[in-house]
Structure 1
Amino acid sequence: MKEFNPSKPNNDLSFLPPDTSKTETVQILKQESKASAAIAELKGIAHIIPNQAILINAIVLQEAKDSSEIENIITTKDDLYKAVSSTVTKITPATKEVMFYREALYIGFQKVKQRGILSINDIIEIQKILIKNDAGIRTTQGTALVNDKTNEVIYTPPQSCDVIQRLLKNFVEYLNDEETSLVKMAVLHYQFETIHPFYDGNGRTGRIVNMLYLILKGYLDIPILYLSSYIIKNKSLYYELLLGVTKDNNWEKWILYILTGIEQTAKETIVKIKSIRELLEKTIETVKEKASKIYSKELVETLFVNPYCKVEFITKSVNVERKAASRYLHQLEEIGVLKSYKIGKENIFINTELIELLKQ
Structure 2
Amino acid sequence: MKRGLQGHYEESVVGGETVKAFVPDPLPPRPEIVFDANRRHLLERATLALGKLDSITLLLPDPDIFLYSYIRREAVLSSQIEGTQSSLSDLLLYELEEAAGVPFDDVVEVSRYVAAMDHGMKRLAEGFPLCNRLIREMHEILLSHGRGSHKQPGEFRRSQNWIGGTRPGNAYFVPPPPHRVSECMDALERFLHDENQPYPTLIKAALAHVQFESIHPFLDGNGRLGRLLISFILYHDGMLSKPLLYLSLYLKEHRSYYYDLLNRVREEGEWELWVDFFLEGVEKTATDAVNTAKELVETIHSDEERLKALGSRANSALRCLRALSHHPIATIGSLCDATGLSYPSVSKALDRLEKEGIVKEITGKARNRIYSYTKFIEILNREGR
TM-score by length of 2: 0.85
| Letter paired with 2:337 | K
How far apart are 1:265 and its partner, in Å?
0.6
**SS of corresponding position for 1:86:** coil
User: 1:17 maps to which residue?
Assistant: 28
**SS of corresponding position for 2:161:** coil
1:299 aligns with one of 293, 311, 320:
320
Per-residue CA deviation, residues 167-188 of structure 1 (Å, 9 max, x unaligned), is: 2122223223446421110000
| Letter paired with 2:257 | L
User: Following the alignment from structure 2 to structure 1, what is the Cα–Cα distance between the partners of residues 319 and 128?
Assistant: 31
User: Following the alignment from structure 1 to structure 2, what is the Cα–Cα distance between the partners of residues 81 and 72?
Assistant: 19
Matched length: 358
- CA gap of 1:208–1:53, structure 2 versus 1, over 3 A, is same
Per-residue CA deviation, residues 22-56 of structure 1 (Å, 9 max, x unaligned), is: 25454432211110011111111342112222111
**SS of corresponding position for 1:137:** coil
| Letter paired with 2:114 | R
User: Following the alignment from structure 2 to structure 1, what is the Cα–Cα distance between the partners of residues 357 and 154?
Assistant: 50
1:105 aligns with one of 109, 117, 120:
117
How far apart are 1:260 and its partner, in Å?
0.8
How far apart are 1:190 and its partner, in Å?
0.5
Contact 1:42/1:270, CA 8 A, preserved across alignment: yes
User: Following the alignment from structure 2 to structure 1, what is the Cα–Cα distance between the partners of residues 166 and 237?
Assistant: 36
User: 1:120 maps to which residue?
Assistant: 132
- CA gap of 1:20–1:283, structure 2 versus 1, over 3 A, is farther
User: 2:174 maps to which residue?
Assistant: 156
User: Following the alignment from structure 2 to structure 1, what is the Cα–Cα distance between the partners of residues 43 and 158?
Assistant: 39
User: Following the alignment from structure 2 to structure 1, what is the Cα–Cα distance between the partners of residues 368 and 377?
Assistant: 20
Matched, 1:206 2:206: no
Contact 2:139/2:153, CA 8 A, preserved across alignment: no
User: 1:359 maps to which residue?
Assistant: 381
Return 170-179 or 103-112, whichever deviates more: 170-179
User: Following the alignment from structure 2 to structure 1, what is the Cα–Cα distance between the partners of residues 353 and 280?
Assistant: 42
How far apart are 1:101 and its partner, in Å?
1.1
User: 1:244 maps to which residue?
Assistant: 264
Per-residue CA deviation, residues 133-169 of structure 1 (Å, 9 max, x unaligned), is: 34443443332222479983222111143x2112212
Residue pairs, 1:39-50, within 5 angstroms: 39-50=50-61
2:255 aligns with one of 235, 239, 244:
235
| Letter paired with 1:156 | V
| Letter paired with 1:141 | S
Contact 1:60/1:223, CA 8 A, preserved across alignment: no
Contact 2:157/2:178, CA 8 A, preserved across alignment: yes
| Letter paired with 1:159 | P
User: 1:188 maps to which residue?
Assistant: 208
User: Following the alignment from structure 1 to structure 2, what is the Cα–Cα distance between the partners of residues 117 and 10?
Assistant: 28
User: Following the alignment from structure 2 to structure 1, what is the Cα–Cα distance between the partners of residues 311 and 239?
Assistant: 40
2:348 aligns with one of 304, 307, 327:
327
How far apart are 1:4 and its partner, in Å?
7.3
2:294 aligns with one of 274, 283, 286:
274
User: Percent identity at matched positions?
Assistant: 26
1:69 aligns with one of 80, 104, 107:
80
User: 2:162 maps to which residue?
Assistant: 144
Contact 2:162/2:168, CA 8 A, preserved across alignment: no
Return 136-145 or 164-173, whichever deviates more: 136-145
Return 290-299 or 215-224, whichever deviates more: 290-299
- CA gap of 1:140–1:150, structure 2 versus 1, over 3 A, is closer
- CA gap of 1:158–1:141, structure 2 versus 1, over 3 A, is same
**SS of corresponding position for 2:361:** strand
Contact 1:23/1:255, CA 8 A, preserved across alignment: no
User: Following the alignment from structure 1 to structure 2, what is the Cα–Cα distance between the partners of residues 195 and 154?
Assistant: 14
5+ residue gaps, structure 2: 11-18
Contact 2:8/2:22, CA 8 A, preserved across alignment: no
Return 140-149 or 86-95, whichever deviates more: 140-149
Return 256-265 or 304-313, whichever deviates more: 304-313
Residue pairs, 1:285-296, within 5 angstroms: 285-290=305-310, 292-295=312-315
How far apart are 1:306 and its partner, in Å?
1.4
**SS of corresponding position for 1:145:** coil
- CA gap of 1:149–1:236, structure 2 versus 1, over 3 A, is farther
| Letter paired with 2:202 | L
Return 101-110 or 80-89, whichever deviates more: 80-89
Per-residue CA deviation, residues 220-241 of structure 1 (Å, 9 max, x unaligned), is: 2223221010001100011110
User: Following the alignment from structure 1 to structure 2, what is the Cα–Cα distance between the partners of residues 260 and 61?
Assistant: 23
How far apart are 1:339 and its partner, in Å?
1.7
Per-residue CA deviation, residues 274-312 of structure 1 (Å, 9 max, x unaligned), is: 110100100111121125334276532211111112223
Contact 2:49/2:283, CA 8 A, preserved across alignment: yes
**SS of corresponding position for 1:66:** helix
Q: CA RMSD in A?
A: 2.5
Matched, 1:318 2:339: yes
User: Following the alignment from structure 1 to structure 2, what is the Cα–Cα distance between the partners of residues 188 and 22?
Assistant: 14
